[in-house]
DNA sequence: TACGAAACGGAGAGCCCTTCTCCGTTTCGC
DNA sequence: GCGAAACGGAGAAGGGCTCTCCGTTTCGTA
């Protein structure tokens, strides 16, 4: 509904105050990190704490947790799609584009999108659907190019990449493991090596798309 | 694992009743599954529910959550070590042994060991230390053989394998994603393909051992 | 600089979930 | 068939999360 945020009903047409805008951005960022770490049931107070604002400010900007998740999802999808589009255009080598995208997506914390698989989240909403489609198209384009050039194995799809990416970059819950990030990039690289053509094995099951993931709710 | 469970202090020397033994095993199994799904902060009542026993029974067998985690850790480490030892002996091919171990470890839910990284858990305890060492030795043996035979890349260590394994097999929190397991084996296989020699990339950082992981608390 | 409106933050009430215990009932082993 | 061991449901106690109230601070403008 943020097509025009408050929509017709509310006088949100007026510009937010400078500090309000700044805080709003901080809160979405903080929410992204918190979701990645805690999963869909993240505590809202933790988001406020990380954003450096009072919890009341959080509730003032987002009516409820669903609305906050929605904003995070839109933000992450848009930024990730942009990264993918940039990588596709700017990288001369097809597999390099894929690699670049994977590492950048990790930085963007695509894992924050996992609440989208929750039943509480309305994926069918036009704006969300549109964001997902843009992201999926961009990633598919990267993968297609790499597959056509014979550098990426052909038996995988977007869902395989995104789920593994989410899983490998997810922090261990409860443990504030500081040195952990140092290993994540290694594991992503190892996974990427496994994606290269020629395939070194035969995969069981079928390639996963993003729809497949949503379908299993 | 039940070497001397209750230790000397308690009259646990007497044999448990048949149903008690059965329930105890069920509870440890249920705890393993629950920890994998919820992380270190798993609800104890959920364990009881999954084990098909009343919550009181759980508290009767394990004084507190720490004790339960300890038993799970010992159980998982022992079973995983056994799997590794078996694979090493029974598989003629070095990389096949590694592959077999990875899939079996996933089935054993090694992800349940992640509470061991929590500060609340005493890793220094002799029995735990011993279990960890046995497991680490067994896995190292498998990896060493595969590296010596030129099938496994040389720039990785036990920690790399176990963390990635844990991450890739961890269920998405909150979402009871039924069809999810179907993809896990695919991702493990892709990761394994990335582990093969010759290495298709240069990894940054240094190979991770299990100590490295514990060190980062 | 001064003023009004917008935005903020801390504290606290209400609620739910988790932990843990009590005690009557059931099951096991002999 | 009996005694002891084990069980399970219910419920009190505690803690954390959600959300709101209201006094204070900050921003934007004249």
3-state secondary structure chain B: CCCCCCCCCCCCCCCCCHHHHHHHHHHHHHHHHHHHHHCCCCCHHHHHHHHCCCHHHHHHHCCCHHHHHHHHHHHHHHHHHHHHHHHHHHCCCHHHHHHHHHHHHHHCCHHHHHHHHCCCCCCCCHHHHHHHHHHHHHHHHHHHHHHHCCCECCCCCHHHHHHHHHHHHCCCCCCCCHHHHHHHHHHHHHHHHHHECCCCCCCCCCCCCHHHHHHCC
B98-121: average pLDDT: 91
pLDDT of residue B28: 98
Least confident of A7-11, A94-98, B47-51, B110-114: A7-11
Burial A56-65 (b: 16+ CB within 10 A, else e): ebbeebbeeb
B118 touches chain A (CB under 8 A): yes
A138-158: average pLDDT: 98
B187-195: average pLDDT: 98
Which nucleotides along chain C are within 7 A of a protein C-beta? 6-12, 17-23, 27-29
A67 touches chain B (CB under 8 A): no
pLDDT of residue A174: 56
pLDDT of residue A120: 80
pLDDT of residue A183: 87
Using C1' positions and the CA of A63, the closest nucleotide is D19
* Pairwise CB contact (< 8 Å): B180 & A156: no
- Which chain B residues have a beta carbon less than 8 Å from that of A175? 40, 114, 117-119, 217
Q: Answer yes or no: are the C-beta atoms of A80 and A94 closer than 8 Å.
A: no
Whole-angstrom Cα Rg for chain B: 18
B137-158: average pLDDT: 98
pLDDT of residue A10: 37
B7 touches chain A (CB under 8 A): no
- Express each pLDDT in A60-107 by its tens digit: 999 999 999 999 999 999 999 999 999 999 999 999 999 999 999 999
pLDDT band at residue B7 using 50, 70 and 90 as cut-offs: very low
The percent of residues above 90 in pLDDT, for chain B, comes to 73
Asked if the model's pLDDT at residue B71 lies above 70, the reply is yes
pLDDT band at residue B177 using 50, 70 and 90 as cut-offs: low
Which nucleotides along chain D are within 7 A of a protein C-beta? 5-11, 16-22, 26-28
pLDDT of residue A117: 82
B68-95: average pLDDT: 97
Chain-centroid distance, C-alpha B30: 14
CA B170 – C1' C9 distance (Å)? 38
Contacts within 8 Å (CB) and 24+ apart, B18-23: B20/B61, B23/B51, B23/B53, B23/B57, B23/B61
Least confident of A111-115, B102-106, B138-142, B207-211: B207-211
CA distance B45 to B58: 8
Sign of CA dihedral A188, A189, A190, A191: positive
pLDDT band at residue A173 using 50, 70 and 90 as cut-offs: low
Interface of B with A in 25-64 (CB under 8 A): 39-41
CA A19 – C1' C3 distance (Å)? 19
Nearest to B145 by CA among B105, B178, B101: B101
CA distance A112 to A115: 7
A191 touches chain B (CB under 8 A): yes
**Domains identified in chain B and CATH numbers:** 73-215 (1.10.357.10)
Asked if the model's pLDDT at residue B83 lies above 50, the reply is yes
Nearest to B44 by CA among B22, B23, B66: B66
Nearest to A156 by CA among A204, A103, A94: A204
Least confident of B76-80, B112-116, B150-154: B112-116
- Closest residue of chain A to B192, computed from CA coordinates: A194
Q: Mean pLDDT across chain B, nearest whole number?
A: 89
B171 touches chain A (CB under 8 A): no
- Which chain A residues have a beta carbon less than 8 Å from that of B174? 39-41, 114-115, 118
Asked if the model's pLDDT at residue B15 lies above 50, the reply is yes
- Express each pLDDT in A193-207 by its tens digit: 999 999 999 999 999
CA distance A88 to A97: 6
pLDDT of residue B4: 35
Nearest to B121 by CA among B56, B181, B69: B69
CA B17 – C1' D3 distance (Å)? 15
CA distance A12 to B37: 41
């Amino acid at each position: 509904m943020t097509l025009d945020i408050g929509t017709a009903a509310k006088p949100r047409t007026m510009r937010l105050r400078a500090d309000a805008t700044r805080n709003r951005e901080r809160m979405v960022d903080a929410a992204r990190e918190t979701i990645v770490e805690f999963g869909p049931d993240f505590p809202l107070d933790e988001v406020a704490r990380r954003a450096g604002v009072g919890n009341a400010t959080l509730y003032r900007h987002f009516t409820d947790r669903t609305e906050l998740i929605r904003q995070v999802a839109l933000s992450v999808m848009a930024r990730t799609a942009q990264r993918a589009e940039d990588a596709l255009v700017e990288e001369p080598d097809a597999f390099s584009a894929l690699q670049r995208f994977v590492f950048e997506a990790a930085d963007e914390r695509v894992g924050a999108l996992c609440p989208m698989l929750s039943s509480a989240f309305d994926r069918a909403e036009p704006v969300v659907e549109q964001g997902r489609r843009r992201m999926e198209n961009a990633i598919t384009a990267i993968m297609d190019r790499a597959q056509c050039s014979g550098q990426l194995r052909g038996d995988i799809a977007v869902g395989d990449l995104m789920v593994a990416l989410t899983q490998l970059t997810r922090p261990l819950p409860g443990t504030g493991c500081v040195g952990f990030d140092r290993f994540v990039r290694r594991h992503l690289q190892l996974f990427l090596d496994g994606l290269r053509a020629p395939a070194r094995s035969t995969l069981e099951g079928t390639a996963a798309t993003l729809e497949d993931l949503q379908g299993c709710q």
